[in-house]
Structure 1
């Protein structure tokens, strides 16, 4: 006799879960824009609720606190960027590097609020946020190393060479989305060439990490 009641209750719970997931994703999308335009410390929960047109309690319900909300935004943005940039694993090594850089720039161009949140949105205020930002750097370094060297277990010197390049890419990309004008393909080629310089410098100092042949240009 209890079975029909259980089945009847299951449907609404599933639909409720789907609605909750969608509502949470909507709040994260709103938060990306808010924190991209205003620093973490400058936004109170009242400000966030007012600008998002939701009750403050709804944000507490889904995220527990302003910090929890911000961390969820950063983590969601990071997942999107890493997935986007690492989507060329089936290509030959040289083409993989070229495609990774292009995918990285495409993500920043089409998800500007998310990209700003990852790279510069209040990263100095919180060690955990800083660690998330460092995590995405390591993921990009691993992706580039796999394309350039065929492996991600590289020497400390090679890692430092790639890290210095990634930090430069972040600054250049932020400036590019803030001051549009340079075509994406031109910036991509510039970054490919500067990566080539970094890889050749690594090879000179650490011959165990030879630089791959220069990436070919797409037709």
Structure 2
């Protein structure tokens, strides 16, 4: 009888401790939920394959907001403004040399998965889609004058055109987050707004979570 009572007591204590641990773990996970906002700046490579020699770097800025459902899963919406690309298009089929400025930006809808690594450090992965807009202003200078260039009376004409391209493409990101305070964290990351292209953004910024 004593052995049965001892066994029953042990079982009850084990069940109670397990339920408490499960509740504690669940509470800890849910405590990391909340809405957050953030901003990042960094360096960007904006490469247009349709123009020769248009690989360019420059400053990039990104603003974002999202919601963490728990310490692992979340959703994020962001806006990225990429650097302008100044290019010269050299064509072997034409004597004219069009040049212009390519302005681009994107809006990203991303799912976020966070992996706690060591104390305040976490690995962040992001995957989703990006709506990309490219505004291309092309200036084409040419001449139909029979005179050689530089001769008196030689004149040129300027043809300006504007092209707007809108695309939806896969987007992916990878980064590290470090908690500075209960609400604020620093994040360094890489984000590709168009998976499959050679464009990419290297970013550093801060996130504030409302708890």
How does the TM-score come out when normalised to structure 2? 0.25
- Answer 1 or 2: which has greater helix percent: 1
How does the TM-score come out when normalised to structure 1? 0.24
- Answer 1 or 2: which has greater strand percent: 2
State the structure with more CA Rg. Answer: 2
